[in-house]
Amino acid sequence: MLDAIDQRSRYRVFRRPDWALRAPDAHMPLRPDEIERLRGLGDRLDVEEVADIYLPVSRLLSLHAASLQNLGSATDAFLNRAERITPFVIGIGGSVAVGKSTVARVLQELIRRWPDTPRVALVSTDGFLWPNAELERRGLMNRKGFPESYDRRSLLDFVSAIKRGVPRVPAPVYSHLTYDRVTGERIWVEQPDVVIVEGLNVLQPPPGPHDVAVSDLFDFAVYVHAEPDDLERWYVSRWLTLRDTAFANPASHFHRYTTLTDAQADERARELWHGINLPNLRENILPTRHRADLVLAKRGDHTVDTVELRKL
């Protein structure tokens, strides 16, 4: 990991009140009921959070996307050719329970309101996890979410096809109910203006010096950060809530946990955190923080406290 001095030299750090001033004239395009719909289980999201944090982020992303589009147009003019503008690809990474899916959904809705980017696709890398049968065959079920549990070749091919302008690109679908890929089901990404790719390990570097990682194809990368103790608390709270809701469905992979007492359920959730999610965070996810263009650092109440923006 980078030391504190090196980290400061690479990023401008904004406390929340200062960051909120970055887009003072931005119109709030989302209603309170829309914001509530975008909020994930256990996340803290309201009009103030969107106005202070995500509207300025959206404004920054619009500047980057416009600059890239202008560069593409200038390059095409220089080469005397006309090609469709390449979609702007945003990667969003971070730990389990940090709220990155909520961040991705909020940014998708805000970006859709830009005048020139109505088509915004959101793809989770969960769909690129190897099917459970394959994870079992490889002995990786207890390392689900670690980099090796993903079909990284297919994920790279997917984003590469989007960047090449392929008109219709399929992505596999993952079910959090069955905890597995949905056999034969696909979502189709069709000529988007912007694509958001969200997942635990999306900011991983290439595995070797001559390899390409999906993060190499991102035009902008966001890392959502929180302290491990807060993440554990949020994870356990979410797991206990799911035990009383989604897990009650007999089709749920976790249905067997509904018979646990509160104490047993709390213990099991912490076992999963310390046995799988915390090691993955320490070994694979947190070390990619410095690869992000923007870091959203949360405090214990799930609100963003500081924003770190990479210096150009």
In angstroms, rounded to a whole number, what is the distance separating the alpha carbons of residues 295 and 275?
Answer: 26
Query: What is the C-alpha radius of gyration for the chain, rounded to an integer number of angstroms?
Result: 20
Domain positions in the chain are 4-310
- Confidence (pLDDT) at 2: 43
Residue 114: partners with Cβ closer than 8 Å, 6 or more residues away: 58, 62, 65
Cβ-contact 295, 307 below 8 angstroms: yes
Cα-based distances in Å from 264 to 240, 244, 259, 270:
10, 14, 9, 10
Q: What is the pLDDT of residue 42?
A: 82
Contacts (Cβ under 8 Å, ≥6 apart) of 84: 165, 191
Helix (H) or strand (E) holding 155: helix 152-163
For residues 248 and 254, what is the distance between their CA atoms, to the nearest angstrom?
A: 8
**3-state SS, residue 211:** coil
CB 126 within 8 A of CB 174: yes
Q: Which pLDDT belongs to residue 4? A: 44
Q: How many Cβ atoms are within 10 Å of 305's Cβ, its own excluded?
A: 16
In total, the chain counts a number of residues equal to 312
Q: For the chain, what is the total number of helices (H) and then of strands (E)?
A: 11, 9
Given this model, what pLDDT does residue 7 score?
A: 58
Kindly list the averaged pLDDT for each block of 10 residues, start to end, along the chain of length 312: 55 95 86 92 90 95 89 88 85 97 96 88 97 96 96 96 93 95 94 95 90 95 98 95 90 91 94 96 97 97 96 88
CA-nearest of 135, 140, 138, 143 to 279 is 143
Structure-derived torsion over alpha carbons of residues 291, 297, 300, 304, reported in degrees to the nearest 10: -140
Q: Give the position of tokens 């099917």.
A: 131
Q: Check residue 136 and give its pLDDT.
A: 97
What is the pLDDT at residue 208? 84
Domain 4-310, what architecture? 3-Layer(aba) Sandwich (3.40)
